[in-house]
Amino acid sequence: MQQTPTPGVLEVVTGPMFSGKSEELIRRLKRARIARQRVACYKPDIDLRYHRTAIASHSSQTHDAEVIATVEDLRDKLFPILGETDVVGIDEAQFLSPEIVPLALELVALGKRVLIAGLDTTFANEPFGPVPNLMALADKVTKLSAVCMVCGQAAIHTQRLGQSQELVVVGAAGLYEARCRTHFSPFTDEHGSQQLELSAQIQA
Ligand code: ADP
Ligand code: MG
């Protein structure tokens, strides 16, 4: 048998908001560190919901992360420390440009384990940024579901509540919730509008 260098691996964790993508990414990164692997973690600067220097889950778990403005910025920050890095984690990858795909494959070819978490679809039910391409090229894809906030069934969709159709309104509490196929609607949302009015009343 021929001796060939061991390539790395590309793992993608995807699903709607609240499905536990960040939790799962944090879990895998923590296990890698327990195995004494050297971990570098990044997130795009569009997602500043909780921390500037960490990825965070809705259940308040965190892992140190460096904020990146672009894929080029990620390359500039990562390559100087690549020799001391075994595992590269990236959260909220849906906000990155398509250049993340060849960079992820380059890192895998260099023997790195690349863990990427991100939304697979937008609230309009369109493929979200580079995540579907990353899924297609991954060694392993974990598609998580959340709990539908209307009926409690498994939710694969992210529902935008209220009327705004802007694509990127990041993380504002009460603006999104997880929905199953039955209770998801990409453009109109009678359940959500009611809930938004309710939460406005509660806050008032
Ligand atoms: P993601 O990164 O996919 O948005 P997180 O890892 O940040 O998800 O958060 C997952 C956590 O969110 C769950 O463990 C749970 O505590 C909380 N949560 C809030 N709403 C829901 C929901 N509708 N379905 C599942 N988990 C939810
Ligand atoms: Mg997340």
Annotated catalytic residue within 66, 92, 106, 126:
92
Task: Answer whether residue 76 is part of any domain.
Answer: yes
Task: Answer whether residue 70 is part of any domain.
Answer: yes
Residue span of the structural domain in which 16 resides:
9-144
- At 196 the pLDDT is 43
Ligand 1 mean position, distance from CA 5 (Å): 38
Task: Answer whether residue 1 is part of any domain.
Answer: no
Which tokens is 163 given? 């009327």
Domain count, the chain: 1
Looking at ligand 1, which atom is closest to the CA of residue 59? Answer: 16
- At 169 the pLDDT is 58
Q: At what angle do helices 100-109 and 71-78 cross, to 10 degrees?
A: 30
Looking at ligand 1, which atom is closest to the CA of residue 25? Answer: 6
Task: Answer whether residue 152 is part of any domain.
Answer: no
pLDDT (tens, 9 = 90+) of the chain, 204 residues, equals 777 767 899 999 999 999 999 999 999 999 999 999 999 999 998 755 556 789 999 999 999 999 999 999 999 999 999 999 999 999 999 999 999 999 999 999 999 999 999 999 999 999 999 999 999 999 999 999 999 999 999 999 999 997 655 556 565 568 899 999 999 999 655 554 444 443 444 333
Task: Please give the backbone phi and psi of residue 178, each rounded to the nearest 5 degrees, phi first.
Answer: -80, 140
Task: Answer whether residue 117 is part of any domain.
Answer: yes
Task: Answer whether residue 91 is part of any domain.
Answer: yes
Looking at ligand 1, which atom is closest to the CA of residue 147? Answer: 24
Task: Answer whether residue 88 is part of any domain.
Answer: yes
The type of residue at 174 is G
Q: Provide residues with CB under 6 Å of ligand 1.
A: 15, 17-23, 57-59, 146-147, 149, 178
CATH number for the domain spanning 122: value is: 3.40.50.300
Ligand 1 mean position, distance from CA 169 (Å): 18
Task: Answer whether residue 198 is part of any domain.
Answer: no
Please give the C-alpha separations between residue 51 and each of 47, 65, 109, 118, 172, in angstroms, as whole numbers: 9, 9, 31, 17, 14
pTM of the model: 0.88
92 is catalytic: yes
Which tokens is 155 given? 């939710």
- At 174 the pLDDT is 81
